[in-house]
Structure 1
Amino acid sequence: MKQFNTTLMAAMAMAIGLSGAPLAQATTPDNQLVIATSLAQVLSVDPQQGTEPKTQEILAGVYDRLVYSDDAANNTIKPQLAETWEIDNSGITFHLRQAAFASGNQVTARDVAFSLTRLLKLNQSASAYYKSAGYNAQNIDSLVKVIDEKTFRIELTDKVTAEDLLYRLAMGISSIVDSVEVERHVDHDDYGNAWLRTHVAGSGPYTLRRWVPNETVILETNNRFWGDAPAMKRVIMRHVPESQTARLMLERGDVDIANALTAPDVKSFVGNQAFRVEQVKIGGFYVLAMNAGRKPLDNPLVREAIAYGIDYEGITGTILGPYGRQRNVPVPEDWAGAIANPDWSFQPEKAKKLLAQAGYPDGFSLTLKTIAQPPRVDIATALQANLAQIGIRIEIKQGNGADIVSAHRARDFDLLLPQATAIMPNALGAMNDFVTNPDNRLAAKNAGNFVWRSAWDIPELNALRNQASSERDAGKRAELLTTLQEKFVAAKPAVLPMFESFFPIVLQKSLQGYHTNLWSLNRLEHVTKTK
């Protein structure tokens, strides 16, 4: 987690009632954590299905994974349910700790095998991260092995290194579920999905007490948790989509954390000694997805014109602020192996010439779909104004998480504003979403694949990504990744990274021990409050 403000200066003024008498600032209970957030994209809490960041925040508390990525230690892989492991030339063997699920069932190697097998056979979009590493529903049974009750082994494929596999095993989609409990709720061979969409079966420090979509999530301590008992006995996530409302709740002390504020509201807390403002670097991007399966977006010249028709600098300065910075290569600029940014900038005359070359001298009309939450709505409005200057007329259609995610997965859009996230804290992990599309056919139904959703057929990039993923030699892999980035830019991508995305949060200064994670898997068992 990166500290966003360094010097905290002024104290908060106490609220003054209409009568003129001072009112004490409200505070949340000492053993309760309250978070003002947006729950619009929380559609399922099945860990092998839900991939959205807010879903991951819930999964982090109720499930464990074999290992986790420690942001505070340069994303080093560390033990969670696995106490130790050994890596050899063909696979990884894990030795599990003594732990129990919230149900009381013991965590065993069978549960690990069941969870990873379930991920591939359930075949939801979450499985794409393992498919790109060579695992699938047909081969997973032969690649996982229960050696004994506390020993589990997974074999490497020819498309993944041990390091890359460990990072995948640290993702929320690799959460270990209680196989005994889940199998009790299987309905018509659904792998328990109907039940796990709204229930949990984990071994984490918390369990799900209540979830009301677009309203609230309540977590309560799991008394069977194998680690230290959390100081926060209850965690409440409140759906507060209006930034000003969340800001006022934070100022009054009604919530401890706000993580869905607009850039101006985040900035309003900078310099206030009662709060801490932090900027989380997630290795992700705000993306303009263009449907290359529709005219005129199938034309690379049109996509290039759009890239030159965006005022990245203006949007960064007036809208994004702490939410991001311009970056048109899908690797954060300060990560090892990142190439320089192309010259894409707001050049309307150049963009018009490209449109004319493509056969559209008078422009055309498109729709742009976005989830109705900051800062995406403001980005959409800015894009509408920018592209109007080159003759592209944009109609904005806002929707909730279910609407927009479904449209994206169904290829039902012209333009759409999704976010992409790195699957590993390295160049290959950052690029994965942008250069993976093994089968672009509609019949492939590969909605878990970010590029497939834009119908962008990229056999050369996909093959080069596979080559880099299987390369064990670090020097050769670095060369391949440089070439991959260069070819991505040259292809005039239909999945255009516009801004590297950051995740700003504002916390009460009294809150200690709140640590973020690359994939929003923010563990809460060590959170405390000081006086």
Structure 2
Amino acid sequence: MKTMMSTATAALCALSVAGAATAQEILILAEDVPAGLNYDGPAAAIPSSQQGMVTLLEPLVGYADGETVDGVVVPDFDTFEGRLAESWTYDADTLTWTFNLRQGVTGCGGATFNADDVMYTFERAKSVSGAAPIGWFLSNVASIDGFGPEVFGDDAAAKELGDSIVKIDDYTVQIRQAEPNALLLPVLTIFGLLIFDKETMEANATEADPWSHDYVNNTNAPGFGGYCLESWAKNEQITYSSFPDYYRGAPDATRVSVRRVPQSSNRLVVLRSGQADLVTGLTPREYNSIADVDGLTVAGVTGNENLFIHMNFDVEPFDNIKLREAIAHAIPYDQIIATGYFGEATQWNGMVPSTYPGYAEVAGFSYDPEMAKSLLAEAGYPDGAGLDAFGEAFALSYVAEKESTLGPIVNVIQTALREVGIPATLDPIPQTQYGDRQLVRRDLPFAVNDQEKPIGVDAGYAIQLFFVSPENGGLNNMVNYRNADLDTMWSGARVDPDTASRDATLAQIQEMLAADVAWLPIVEYRTQWAFRDRVSGLKWYPDNSIRYTDLQISE
């Protein structure tokens, strides 16, 4: 107890420099701050980095508000609203979308938004010059003409925008698809196609880095959002100042400071002291402990967050399906829900979020140690004999900064695996290293992941993102899963105009993924936040990032 108190006291002292938020300024505590702001960069898969991107940059379109759940507004995924694009039309005969852009929009650097910024953003995406080509991937998912896998070849012309995206005038842009595909508007809402301020980006380009990746990775993401970057110290703090000329109205919170406090217990102590206004990433037990505290609110939704076990097909012995099945039946799902989530989770019985259109319940692995042992023997490793030969393959990696939440879970998993003969060890690694190895290098052998969510609200989008082979348009295929039949089925389903037919194909694909244990789904859990009563207006988005422009701050 003495150690715990001194740690919490140190956290309070560290924050005393910033002081309690005053007037319309707020202080947020998180497990980390952005490692980079480049959505085509190595930090793109890290939630704290995505939070920074959506704070500074704006999309062409967004979702309208839907219902309110537990005090949080959730989107209406059937209704789109203009953001930087004011309106649009679609010509089915030519597969062409015409976007009428909003006039009079300016950015933090003084630039005026127009079609050149849109053209630059898509040109940069098609250059596939970043470490993680997310802008290209989203364009490919939406079937934008010319954004196929050929851009990764040696033909420089394949990387040029061509006539698939055309500037008609300063405030009109046309986008042509290669085939009918209903995912265009949804992908335009996602952080990987937010619009850059071309003038500032080009001003910070170099001969070696013509698309300013280094600048955005380390200095700023210039755009047309409601906040401007005031200061940024990686691994410490990031501060945003509201932009008074923001086209949707000046944000109510005039200054937002986000401080890195890795231990969730320390974030909770500081929130309860009144020195912080909002905290993220507490454990379910910690959220529950303040649910009835006067002056504090805990709110959340069941959206798309989950926990799964990642097993890399390119690393032996995880190419053995029977071994994968053995692991699936060695996991005590109910114990993880009770121990790790204080009952605030449910077993995940599918391969994509259960809240998404096209979801099929296809997994539902049961905890059965005897079956796990039998499957292990079928895999050629009776009682685990021979598995020690694979060295570090069974080192279970997880994000070190999430020790408060993941520590109890990985210990349960390790114990359960060892009980059936699988020599699991634990390997906590820094979030930046984890993100790079997952998204860019794809070399993590064995890992627990609770930060991946398909931001496009569609089962098919999730399938292309995580399971389609890279040569056929997959991006974040972290487990290196390859199945030619799946690739072929998805290429047809993504342009199938018949919803029932498309959903039937998606269900077949999900059955294939479950049969191969492409990854091992464990639980789905609530996205939650805790905040002082002076903060209101919270909305949930599929990227699970807060839009500070939504917040209302009372005196």
Q: Taking structure 2 as the reference length, what is the TM-score of the superposition?
A: 0.84
The aligned counterpart of 2:7 is: none
Q: Does structure 2 conserve the Cα–Cα contact (< 8 Å) formed by 1:514 and 1:527?
A: yes
1:338-417 map, 5 Å: 338-363=359-384, 364-365=387-388, 366-372=394-400, 373=402, 374-408=404-438, 409-417=440-448
Q: C-alpha distance in 2, partners of 1:292/1:345?
A: 22
SS at match of 2:323: helix
1:248-263 map, 5 Å: 248-263=269-284
1:231-310 map, 5 Å: 231-310=252-331
Query: How far off is 1:436 after superposition?
Result: 1.6
User: Residue type matched to 2:114 in 1?
Assistant: T
1:466 aligns with 2:486: no
Query: How far off is 1:332 after superposition?
Result: 3.0
The aligned counterpart of 2:87 is: 84
The aligned counterpart of 2:53 is: 59
Q: Does structure 1 conserve the Cα–Cα contact (< 8 Å) formed by 2:205 and 2:212?
A: yes
User: Residue type matched to 2:168 in 1?
Assistant: I
Q: Does structure 1 conserve the Cα–Cα contact (< 8 Å) formed by 2:351 and 2:514?
A: no
The aligned counterpart of 1:35 is: 28
User: Residue type matched to 2:53 in 1?
Assistant: L
SS at match of 2:382: coil
Query: How far off is 1:456 after superposition?
Result: 2.0
User: Residue type matched to 1:167 in 2?
Assistant: P
User: Residue type matched to 2:47 in 1?
Assistant: P
Query: How far off is 1:321 after superposition?
Result: 3.7
The aligned counterpart of 2:70 is: none
Number of aligned residues: 495
Query: How far off is 1:54 after superposition?
Result: 1.7
Structure 2 gaps of 5+ residues are: 1-18, 66-73, 152-157, 389-393
1:390-416: CA deviations, max 9, x gaps? 111111111111221223232333201
Query: How far off is 1:470 after superposition?
Result: 1.3
Counterpart selection for 1:167 from 186, 206, 209: 186
1:409-448 map, 5 Å: 409-418=440-449, 419-439=451-471
SS at match of 1:392: coil
SS at match of 1:481: helix
Q: C-alpha distance in 1, partners of 2:543/2:142?
A: 18
1:334-391: CA deviations, max 9, x gaps? 4444323534121010011001011001312411111111423332222111111111
1:432-473: CA deviations, max 9, x gaps? 333321439xxxxx9x7222x322222212222222111122
SS at match of 1:455: coil
Query: How far off is 1:220 after superposition?
Result: 0.5
SS at match of 2:457: coil
Q: Does structure 2 conserve the Cα–Cα contact (< 8 Å) formed by 1:67 and 1:79?
A: yes
1:95-244 map, 5 Å: 95-98=100-103, 99-121=105-127, 122-125=129-132, 126=134, 127-134=136-143, 135-136=147-148, 137=151, 138=158, 140-158=161-179, 161=181, 163-187=182-206, 188-197=208-217, 198-244=219-265
1:496 aligns with 2:520: yes
Query: How far off is 1:128 after superposition?
Result: 3.0
Query: How far off is 1:265 after superposition?
Result: 1.0
User: Residue type matched to 1:110 in 2?
Assistant: D
Moved more, 406-415 or 225-234: 406-415
Q: C-alpha distance in 1, partners of 2:343/2:527?
A: 8
Query: How far off is 1:239 after superposition?
Result: 0.4
1:97-127: CA deviations, max 9, x gaps? 1211211111111111111221231343224
User: Would the alpha carbon gap of residues 258 and 501 (structure 1) be closer, same or farther in structure 2, given more than 3 Å must change?
Assistant: same
Moved more, 230-239 or 501-510: 501-510
Q: C-alpha distance in 1, partners of 2:512/2:223?
A: 42
User: Would the alpha carbon gap of residues 432 and 278 (structure 1) be closer, same or farther in structure 2, given more than 3 Å must change?
Assistant: farther
The aligned counterpart of 1:21 is: none
Q: Does structure 2 conserve the Cα–Cα contact (< 8 Å) formed by 1:81 and 1:96?
A: yes
Q: C-alpha distance in 1, partners of 2:185/2:494?
A: 14
Q: C-alpha distance in 2, partners of 1:389/1:81?
A: 56
Q: C-alpha distance in 1, partners of 2:465/2:351?
A: 9
SS at match of 1:375: helix
User: Would the alpha carbon gap of residues 186 and 334 (structure 1) be closer, same or farther in structure 2, given more than 3 Å must change?
Assistant: closer
Moved more, 26-35 or 382-391: 26-35
Q: Does structure 1 conserve the Cα–Cα contact (< 8 Å) formed by 2:45 and 2:452?
A: no
User: Would the alpha carbon gap of residues 185 and 130 (structure 1) be closer, same or farther in structure 2, given more than 3 Å must change?
Assistant: same
Counterpart selection for 1:46 from 38, 43, 65: 38
Q: C-alpha distance in 1, partners of 2:255/2:525?
A: 30
Q: Does structure 2 conserve the Cα–Cα contact (< 8 Å) formed by 1:302 and 1:358?
A: yes
1:117-142: CA deviations, max 9, x gaps? 21231343224333344424426433
Moved more, 350-359 or 503-512: 503-512
Moved more, 298-307 or 417-426: 417-426
SS at match of 2:330: coil
Q: Does structure 1 conserve the Cα–Cα contact (< 8 Å) formed by 2:332 and 2:367?
A: yes
Q: C-alpha distance in 2, partners of 1:285/1:119?
A: 29
Structure 1 gaps of 5+ residues are: 1-25, 441-445
1:293-342: CA deviations, max 9, x gaps? 12211011111111111111110121024764211412333444432353
SS at match of 2:54: helix
Q: C-alpha distance in 1, partners of 2:238/2:343?
A: 27
Q: C-alpha distance in 1, partners of 2:470/2:236?
A: 38
Identity %: 24
Query: How far off is 1:47 after superposition?
Result: 3.6
Query: How far off is 1:167 after superposition?
Result: 1.0
SS at match of 1:226: coil
The aligned counterpart of 1:4 is: none
Query: How far off is 1:420 after superposition?
Result: 2.3
Query: How far off is 1:194 after superposition?
Result: 1.0
User: Residue type matched to 1:437 in 2?
Assistant: S
Q: Does structure 1 conserve the Cα–Cα contact (< 8 Å) formed by 2:305 and 2:527?
A: no
Moved more, 206-215 or 453-462: 453-462
Query: How far off is 1:193 after superposition?
Result: 0.8
Q: C-alpha distance in 2, partners of 1:190/1:382?
A: 48
Q: C-alpha distance in 2, partners of 1:254/1:115?
A: 39
1:2-17 map, 5 Å: none
Q: Does structure 2 conserve the Cα–Cα contact (< 8 Å) formed by 1:423 and 1:432?
A: no
